[in-house]
Chains A and B, each alone.
Chain A
Amino acid sequence: MAVQKLPIAKAINESLRKAMETDPKVLIMGEDVGKLGGVFRVTDGLFKDFGEDRVIDTPLAESGIVGTAIGLALRGYRPVVEIQFDGFVFPAYDQIVTQLAKMHARALGKIKLPVVVRIPYGGGIGAVEHHSESPEALFAHVAGLKVVSPSNASDAYWMMQQAIQSDDPIIFFEPKRRYWDKGEVDTDAIPGALHKARTVRDGSDLTLVAYGPMVKVCLEAAAAAQEEGKSIEVVDLRSMSPIDFDAVQASVERTRRLVVVHEAPVFYGAGAEIAARITERCFYHLEAPVLRVGGYHAPYPPARLEEEYLPGLDRVLDAVDRSLAY
């Protein structure tokens, strides 16, 4: 059946399965990805069907996971590694930034590093410390890496296919609080390009740009604003490196207002980059400064405070009102 209704976690699971069936060089690696099927069950069933040679439960050592994946990639494999949670990626950050990102360039293009690093990220699930962070800007800042995040099941399926097929290292941020959101996945479709943004709601008064878990919040905000007679366009960025600035620019040239929404801290975040570039490109189109809604310059708070920290409907609508007031 070509079209299925799947939760995001299952869509990724199906995508990994297809990739493994298609290419015997695709490997899954990570902590608990085997018999358990991952703490979010994203790799559920793969161990049973592909065996321990291809679905590799690893020692609890993130640098080791990424470092050995680099070696396997150099040997011709295409490892897809799972970092169990966002805040656990930092032991592997050195391998990702100093090795994975740069090796292709250092070899003057003679070797390729087709490694996908999957990271369930973001908050909203009431987790303990280090389980709710959004470190995407730290990776997008590094040349040699590509950074993407799907917001729905169809993208989760197709973007994972494309990430695995890419010869570049890709950091694949999975919005963990959306893992159980269902959506239609057409496995026979012709997917859009991995790094193209998509307008997920048309509007004429203001553009909301988001990616990953915040796309849903922005769509809800746009629907609420509609009731007040405001027409809000929502652009799902899908890729944080590269960023499809052309799509954002085209939208802003129509709506003349832009609010960027993400869970990550606003300071030095993706919103800062988008605001700067769009101001440069659209200065004479803008009716208001580009506004940003996101996390604070504070450690991700304990779970009982995360609703205050995370951008929700009201904070997005507040920014919309501030923009429209100019």
Chain B
Amino acid sequence: MTVESTAARKPRRSSKRTAGAGAKKTAAEPELVQLLTPEGERVEHPDYDVDLSAEELRGLYRDMVLTRRFDAEATALQRQGELGLWASLLGQEAAQIGSGRALRDDDYVFPTYREHGVAWCRGVDPTNLLGMFRGVNHGGWDPNSNNFHLYTIVIGSQTLHATGYAMGVAKDGADSAVVAYFGDGASSQGDVAEAFTFSAVYNAPVVFFCQNNQWAISEPTEKQMRVPLYQRAQGFGFPGVRVDGNDVLACLAVTKAALARARRGEGPTLVEAFTYRMGAHTTSDDPTKYRADEEREAWEAKDPILRLRAYLENAGHADAAFFEELETESETLGKRVREAVRAMPDPEPMAIFDHIYADGHALVDEERAQFAAYQASFSDGEGN
């Protein structure tokens, strides 16, 4: 099964990819939907296409560069002790910006904890993402202000929330869609399988966007699956498609098509963005202990940002001034993030008792009062 797209309404030319579509594939490797080769060459795909203006292409590039800059800043802040942990998206910018820019404002996103680029596309201030990593809250933003749910740390849980939300969208008769982000490791979780089942059974308008970044901490995909991930969808009765996750145009096209399908009431789609996490799973692990340097080097040659830059330059869509301006903007963002993190206040101790219940709870009230009295006992001693 394939996903319908606007391009698919044109007569099909060939089921084979056009020439110049990238590296040779072995029989075991499924075809990727690709619109931009690692060398930055624009190629065609029979089922998917995007038609973007030069300005829109520059916009995608800007999104990816700024997201990478934000991510680098966060990693540095962790190394400086300003953040307790950071989950870097380095290498996954195209998957996130491509899918994120496919969304409408009224769509709803359920992320895992690495979707900084998607958050960027949703208009969530990046500094809001740092609170939980700094340890001042467990999320903190209002999910409904940007239709971007809180980060979910338990692997795969959010795919069910997305499915339920999408069931609600369908009940409301709305034509918006929902996207659940998760990783290759999460695909092993029962919740993900249950989300596939529920979404198929209720024909929920949800797109499952799996960023297969090849590693679940130190576990390679061979420890998660024996068949290509996207093929799993077929067993649940909905289409799955593998897209070059380092190709922002392909990610945009494929996600748009999957969203359009959901909006038409045709149910879920599984998108597997085949990509690579260039850094560590989080700043707590050390990828040099479990993977070869050559592997990262091979993927660096497929870098999502470099390939779009090559295309922009070769096609004359961006000039030197654009890249210089972006560099300045990038530095400004880094500085803003740095300053915002350092200025982030520790929460008040009494916040421990805030928002546990919407309607209150006698035990919480009692313990809050005890804690307040205990705290006050120190200031009384000092002050009087």
Chain A interface residues (CB < 8 Å from chain B): 53, 58-59, 61, 63-64, 66-77, 91, 94-95, 98-99, 102-113, 143-144, 146, 166-168, 195, 241-245
Contact = CB atoms under 8 A, between A and B. Distances in A.
A194 to B, nearest CB: 9
26 contacts: A59-B194, A59-B198, A61-B194, A63-B190, A64-B197, A67-B160, A68-B195, A71-B161, A71-B165, A72-B168, A74-B149, A75-B165, A103-B150, A104-B357, A107-B141, A107-B142, A107-B150, A108-B139, A109-B358, A110-B141, A112-B358, A113-B358, A146-B357, A166-B359, A242-B363, A243-B363
B137 A72 contact: no
Contact of B143 (A61, A95, A107, A243): A107
Interface of B: 110, 137-144, 149-150, 152, 154, 157, 159-169, 171-172, 190-191, 194-195, 197-198, 201, 354-359, 361-364
A87 to B, nearest CB: 17
Given A74-B149, A99-B157, A110 B164 contact: no
B138 A61 contact: no
B235 to A, nearest CB: 14
A68 B167 contact: yes
A63 B197 CA distance: 12
A109 B140 CA distance: 9
A108 B137 contact: yes
Contact of A71 (B138, B167, B194, B201): B167
Contacts of B110: 71
A71 B197 contact: no
A168 B157 contact: no
B89 to A, nearest CB: 21
A94 B191 CA distance: 10
B50 to A, nearest CB: 30
Contacts of B354: 105, 108-109
Contacts, number: 149
B362 A64 contact: no
Contacts of A61: 194, 197-198
A75 B165 CA distance: 6
A111 B138 CA distance: 14
9 tightest Cβ-Cβ pairs between the two chains A and B: A71-B164, A67-B160, A75-B168, A68-B164, A64-B194, A167-B358, A71-B165, A109-B355, A110-B142
A195 B168 contact: no
A67 B150 contact: no
A94 B165 contact: no
A99 B195 CA distance: 15
Given A68-B198, A107-B139, A98 B154 contact: yes
A69 B157 CA distance: 12
Contacts of A143: 356, 364
A144 B190 CA distance: 24
Given A71-B161, A99-B154, A144-B357, 6 more contacts: A70-B161, A74-B168, A99-B152, A105-B354, A110-B144, A143-B356
B197 A59 contact: yes
A289 B256 CA distance: 68
A74 to B, nearest CB: 5
Most chain B CB neighbours (cut-off 10 Å) among A61, A108, A146, A245: A108
A77 B143 contact: no
A288 B197 CA distance: 56
A68 B357 contact: no
Contacts of A109: 354-355, 358
Given A95-B191, A110-B143, A71 B160 contact: yes
Contact of A64 (B160, B171, B361, B363): B160
B51 to A, nearest CB: 33
Most chain B CB neighbours (cut-off 10 Å) among A59, A68, A98, A146: A68
Given A71-B160, A105-B138, A106-B138, A94 B154 contact: yes
Contacts of A244: 362
Most chain B CB neighbours (cut-off 10 Å) among A69, A107, A112, A241: A107
Nearest to A79: B164
Nearest to A144: B356
Contacts of B164: 67-75
Contacts of B359: 166-168
A58 B163 CA distance: 13
Contacts of B154: 94, 98-99
Nearest to A61: B194
Most chain A CB neighbours (cut-off 10 Å) among B144, B163, B167: B167
A106 B354 CA distance: 10
A266 B321 CA distance: 74
A66 to B, nearest CB: 8
A189 B169 CA distance: 37
Contact of B355 (A68, A71, A95, A108): A108
A67 to B, nearest CB: 3
A305 B100 CA distance: 59
B168 A146 contact: no
Nearest to B200: A59
B357 to A, nearest CB: 5
B362 A63 contact: no
Contacts of B162: 71
Contacts of A144: 356-357
A94 B155 CA distance: 11
A34 to B, nearest CB: 13
B354 to A, nearest CB: 7
B157 A242 contact: no
B362 A195 contact: yes
Contact of B166 (A58, A71, A111, A243): A71
A241 B363 contact: yes
B133 to A, nearest CB: 14
A209 B171 CA distance: 44
Contacts of A108: 137, 139-140, 142, 354-355
Contacts of B197: 59, 61, 64
B160 A74 contact: no
